[in-house]
Chain A
Amino acid sequence: MKYWEKPFGKEKPKVPNGEIHILKERCKGCGFCVEYCPKDVLEMSDEFNTKGYHPPKIMNEEDCVNCGLCETICPEFAIWCTLKEEVALEN
């Protein structure tokens, strides 16, 4: 027997998808955003900024859920996220 989660015709639940913005020159490479992003969207890069720090790079932006944690944990005001779109969850 199959139970339907939602009544027919009701929209599927949606997850937000975010667009990440990084000001590489402000970053001091602390790694907080990379470590605590719940979706592991970020990774430290090998690139250097002018101060000699490694800023993060975006690995899989489609996984970003626009939770804003990177924005709040960053001590340098170097990273933030904006809502791109709400995507319907796959079954």
Chain B
Amino acid sequence: MEPLRKTEKDIHPMDDLLRMDRIPHIWCPGCGIGTAVTAFAAGLAKAEIDLTKTCIVSGIGCTGRVAGYVKLDSFHTTHGRAIAFATGIQVANPDLKVIVFSGDGDLISIGGNHFIHAARRNINMLVICVNNFIYAMTGGQVAPTTPLATYATTSPFGCVEPPFNIPYLADSSGAVYVARWTALHVRRLTNSIAEALKKPGFSVIEVISPCAMYYSRINRLGDGLDMMKFYHDNTEIRHGEDTKNLDIGFQTKIIVGKFVDRERPTYMDSYNKWLSGTKKD
């Protein structure tokens, strides 16, 4: 077997942001999660933030493995609780920048309540939600993001429930920064991550990503590369688009871009202001 590393020249520039003892990762060939992590590592480097004051939290799922592969202070929490955990970190030590990197099932289904309330309170954190339209790790069950009529292992006749539109949910709950990209838009995703890392408050970046194992197979969409080609031909960039208009159907056009970028006092701002006011009386 060819050794992984022969000379200094064989060290990937992102190796120091990754836990190399755990690489190769578990993701299938053609899965987009690895690409989202690469964009994240590139975004971290681009934002030039203090990595000793940055931590990453994931829940459970294929995407939930991300925290374990990134060389920051990493927390792998229970299913759905990544945002609750990250809220604790942020409130206990407001100097830290917390990133929650998890799946659509983890964040929007079982963790949906934490998601809307962290947005409402405007807790300072960046949520990167990899949306593969499915519960991938457990075998491809319907998620609250599964588009209508899509096949899944628990919807053999096609999904009958309307899905959540994640940017609309984030926007209406109070998030200050909302963007959506696909795993193909690596550069724009990197820039968005770098921008959102510097934004105080609750930021959400949705990354539409191929699950080449369950979602694409049961729906006969080919492999990961075929799904990337689909994104290439069927996405449209519309910055500032009203988040109401961002529904995703089965193999319909996907609108991407930065939709929300506004200012609101963060939870800690309001808390400190309130506290200093009451103390004076």
**Co-assembled chains A and B:** yes
Interface size class of B (residues with CB under 8 A): 35 or more
Query: A89 to nearest B CB, angstroms?
Result: 23
A69's partner among B12, B37, B186 (CB-CB below 8 A) is B186
- Interface contacts (Cβ under 8 Å), in number, total 83
Instruction: Decide if A23 is an interface residue (CB 8 Å cutoff).
Output: yes
Knowing A72-B39, A72-B186, A80-B12 are in contact, say whether A23-B4 is a contact too (CB < 8 A). yes
Closest to A34 in B: B225
Separation of A80 and B24 alpha carbons in the complex (Å): 16
Q: Which of A11-53 contact B (CB under 8 A)?
A: 21, 23-26, 28-32, 35-36, 49-50, 53
Query: A82 to nearest B CB, angstroms?
Result: 8
Instruction: Decide if A58 is an interface residue (CB 8 Å cutoff).
Output: no
Separation of A25 and B2 alpha carbons in the complex (Å): 7
Separation of A76 and B38 alpha carbons in the complex (Å): 8
Map CB proximity to A onto B209-222 as digits: 1 under 8 Å, 0 otherwise.
00000000000000
Separation of A69 and B225 alpha carbons in the complex (Å): 15
Instruction: Decide if B30 is an interface residue (CB 8 Å cutoff).
Output: yes
Closest to B34 in A: A75
By a CB distance below 8 angstroms, the chain A residues around B33 are: 75
Separation of A17 and B37 alpha carbons in the complex (Å): 26
Map CB proximity to A onto B28-57 as digits: 1 under 8 Å, 0 otherwise.
111111110111001000000000000000
Once the chains bind, are B38 and A74 in contact (CB under 8 Å)?
Answer: yes
Once the chains bind, are A72 and B190 in contact (CB under 8 Å)?
Answer: yes
Separation of A32 and B25 alpha carbons in the complex (Å): 17
Instruction: Decide if A88 is an interface residue (CB 8 Å cutoff).
Output: no
Knowing A23-B4, A35-B228 are in contact, say whether A75-B35 is a contact too (CB < 8 A). yes
A35's partner among B3, B4, B42, B225 (CB-CB below 8 A) is B225
Once the chains bind, are A72 and B2 in contact (CB under 8 Å)?
Answer: no
Separation of A28 and B16 alpha carbons in the complex (Å): 21
Map CB proximity to B onto A48-77 as digits: 1 under 8 Å, 0 otherwise.
011001000000000000000101111111
Closest to A73 in B: B186
Closest to A29 in B: B29
Knowing A26-B23, A72-B187 are in contact, say whether A77-B31 is a contact too (CB < 8 A). no
Once the chains bind, are B38 and A30 in contact (CB under 8 Å)?
Answer: no
By a CB distance below 8 angstroms, the chain B residues around A78 are: 12
Once the chains bind, are B35 and A21 in contact (CB under 8 Å)?
Answer: no
Separation of A29 and B187 alpha carbons in the complex (Å): 21
Knowing A23-B10, A30-B224, A72-B42 are in contact, say whether A77-B32 is a contact too (CB < 8 A). no
Instruction: Decide if B277 is an interface residue (CB 8 Å cutoff).
Output: no
By a CB distance below 8 angstroms, the chain B residues around A76 are: 24-25, 34
Once the chains bind, are A73 and B30 in contact (CB under 8 Å)?
Answer: no
Instruction: Decide if B18 is an interface residue (CB 8 Å cutoff).
Output: yes
Instruction: Decide if B27 is an interface residue (CB 8 Å cutoff).
Output: yes
Knowing A30-B224, A32-B35, A73-B38 are in contact, say whether A53-B14 is a contact too (CB < 8 A). no
4 smallest beta-carbon distances between A and B, as pairs: A75-B34, A28-B29, A72-B186, A30-B30
The residues of A with any CB-CB pair to B shorter than 8 Å are 21, 23-26, 28-32, 35-36, 49-50, 53, 69, 71-78, 80
Q: Offer 21 A-B interface pairs, CB within 8 angstroms, sorted by A.
A: A21-B10, A23-B5, A25-B3, A25-B4, A28-B29, A28-B30, A30-B225, A31-B30, A32-B30, A35-B225, A49-B2, A69-B186, A71-B13, A71-B38, A72-B39, A72-B186, A72-B190, A73-B184, A76-B34, A77-B14, A80-B13
